[in-house]
């Protein structure tokens, strides 16, 4: 029996599409639905559907009430400003440091392959491990950094890096940058490898030095990568949660509470899954908005090669 080409294609594509639908789209749509409903996990307040033998309650539709409740909470707005600072600082640091490391690792020198491999170690660690590792370095009582500083006499007493909210927030930014910048480096390196050597040769013939080659050849060619790094770093920055869990739990006070932590607490500590998902969907909206802004700013004048 001969199958039509279209049928055969659907046979191949169908199962993966179904899996993606179940694993990606269904939870996405369901969680968006939850943000408009009155959710109590233990009590159904609306109809339910069956998915693969599992009962999925739909709960009672309450419109925008969860969003109104989330936006009326002063903790949300404080968390939002803090999140914007966190994301801006993290994106800037991760991009600059990632680009700097990529520029170094793009040069030829002894030990480059080893360094390129080592570069991936921070990125490949679980963030819980990253948090514990940095507690080991920065802790007031047990921290290696305080130990070294005290031993060589640079400080008289141990430094409390998590004492004030401002310093604790910046520690979070730096630790997250340490964890994520290698990935940006990897993307930038891949981008640099694809730049034609002819462009550099031509620039050299025109008398361009290192910095001019960087400014007029490398950076323009890296625009799509810069866009990708900015988008990924922004999304990752907005969603960062695990380091807060390990390092500060949002404290002292609310000083390191970001919107993602606030949404997590609302959902999983206070069991308010409706308002919790509403809080987290405001982050999704912000991410989408910033993606559009980056697109306009970074890619607007970029013309891909024909």
CB of 175 to another protein, least distance (A): 13
Q: Which stretch binds another protein (CB under 8 A): 160-168, 180-188, 189-197, 212-220?
A: 160-168
Among 31, 62, 245, 284, binds another protein (CB under 8 A): 245
Separation CA 20–CA 14 (nearest Å): 10
- CA-nearest of 159, 163, 179, 167 to 240 is 179
Please check whether residue 180 is in contact with residue 243, taking contact to mean a CB–CB distance below 8 angstroms. Answer: no
Q: Is 140 a binder of another protein (CB under 8 A)? A: yes
Question: 207 in the Ramachandran plot: left (φ > 0), alpha (ψ -120 to 50) or beta?
Answer: left
Task: Please give the residues from 266 up to 285 whose contact with another protein meets the rule CB under 8 A.
Answer: 267-271
CB of 147 to another protein, least distance (A): 12
Q: Which stretch binds another protein (CB under 8 A): 3-11, 29-37, 111-119, 248-256?
A: 248-256
Q: Is 168 a binder of another protein (CB under 8 A)? A: yes
**Alpha carbon of 190 to those of 58, 213, 219, 222, 280: distances in Å?**
45, 18, 13, 10, 33
Alpha carbon 246 to chain centroid, angstroms: 17
Contact mark string toward another protein, 36..55, x via CB under 8 A: ----xxxx----------xx
Place of tokens 């400014």: 215
Q: Is 110 a binder of another protein (CB under 8 A)? A: no
Secondary structure of residue 57 in the 3-state scheme: strand
Kind of pairing between the strands at 60-61 and 54-57: unpaired
CB of 133 to another protein, least distance (A): 15
Choice between 66 and 185, CB closer to another protein: 66
Instruction: Indicate the burial class of 87 (C-beta count within 10 angstroms; 0-12, 13-18, 19 or more).
Output: buried
How many residues of this chain bind another protein (CB under 8 A)?
Answer: 38
Sheet strands (E) in the chain = 37-38, 48-51, 54-57, 60-61
CB of 203 to another protein, least distance (A): 50
Among 129, 201, 249, 293, binds another protein (CB under 8 A): 249
CB of 19 to another protein, least distance (A): 20
Q: Which residues of this chain interact with another protein, rule CB under 8 A?
A: 40-43, 54-57, 75, 139-142, 157-158, 160-163, 168, 245-254, 256-257, 265, 267-271
């Amino acid at each position: 029996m001969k199958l039509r080409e279209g049928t055969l294609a659907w046979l191949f594509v169908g199962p993966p599409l179904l899996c993606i639908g179940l694993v990606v789209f269904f939870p996405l749509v369901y969680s968006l639905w939850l943000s408009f409903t009155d959710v109590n996990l233990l009590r159904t307040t609306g109809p339910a559907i069956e998915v693969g033998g599992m009962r999925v309650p739909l709960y009672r539709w309450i419109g925008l009430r969860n969003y109104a409740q989330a936006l009326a909470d002063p903790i949300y707005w404080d968390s939002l400003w803090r999140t914007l600072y966190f994301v801006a600082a993290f994106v800037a640091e991760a991009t600059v440091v990632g680009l700097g490391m990529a520029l170094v690792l793009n040069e030829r020198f002894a030990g480059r392959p080893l360094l390129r491999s080592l570069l991936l170690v921070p990125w490949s660690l679980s963030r819980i491990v990253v948090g514990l590792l940095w507690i080991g370095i920065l802790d007031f009582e047990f921290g290696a950094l305080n130990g070294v500083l005290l031993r060589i006499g640079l400080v008289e007493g141990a430094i409390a890096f998590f004492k004030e909210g401002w310093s604790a927030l910046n520690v979070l930014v730096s630790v997250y940058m340490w964890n994520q910048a290698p990935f940006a480096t990897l993307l930038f390196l891949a981008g640099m490898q694809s730049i034609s050597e002819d462009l550099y040769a031509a620039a050299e013939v025109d008398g361009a030095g290192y910095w001019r080659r960087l400014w007029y050849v490398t950076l323009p060619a890296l625009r799509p990568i810069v866009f990708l790094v900015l988008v990924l770093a922004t999304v990752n920055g907005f969603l960062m949660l695990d380091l807060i869990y390990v390092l500060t739990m949002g404290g002292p006070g609310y000083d390191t509470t970001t919107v993602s932590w606030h949404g997590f607490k609302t959902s999983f500590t206070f069991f308010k899954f409706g308002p919790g998902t509403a809080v987290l969907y405001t982050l999704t909206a912000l991410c989408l908005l910033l993606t559009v802004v980056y697109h306009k700013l970074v890619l607007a004048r970029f013309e891909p090669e024909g």
